[in-house]
Amino acid sequence: MKILQSRSFQKKVKKFTKKEKKALDGEVKKIAKDPTLGVEKKSDLKGVFVHKFKIHSIQYLLSYRLQNENIELIMIGQHENYYRDLKSYLKNQYNKN
C-alpha cells in the first residue's frame, strides 16, 4: 500500500515541528494498518475519511481517501473552517481534472 500526499497536506506539514511530525507519522501508520480508522463522510464529501487525533492537546483532523491500493492524505488542520476548506479544495481538484 502506497501513501500519497496532496500539495495542501505537504504545505501544512512543512510548518510542523519535529515532534509534531513524529506524532503525525504515528497516526499515518495507524491509518495504513486500518484504513477504516477514520469516519467516512457523507454527501459531497462521500469517499473521504476523517481521522481525529491530538498533538500537544490540540485536536487535528486528517482527511484521506482510498484509491485502488493507495491512501491519499488530502488535508490536515484544526477544526475551525476545516470542512469548508476541505470541500473547497476537493471542488478545485475536481474542476482541474
pLDDT tens for each residue of 1-26: 899 999 999 999 999 999 999 999 99
Instruction: Domain ranges for the chain, please list them.
Output: 2-96
Contacts of 52 (CB under 8 A, 6+ apart): 38, 59, 60, 61, 62
Integer Rg of the chain from CA: 13
pLDDT at 97 over 80: no
pTM comes to 0.91
Cα 91–Cα 41–Cα 13 angle in degrees, nearest 5: 65
Tell me which CATH code domain 2-96 carries: 3.30.2310.20
36-65, pLDDT tens digit by residue?
899 999 988 999 999 999 998 999 999 999
CA nearest to 86, candidates 55, 71, 53, 64: 64
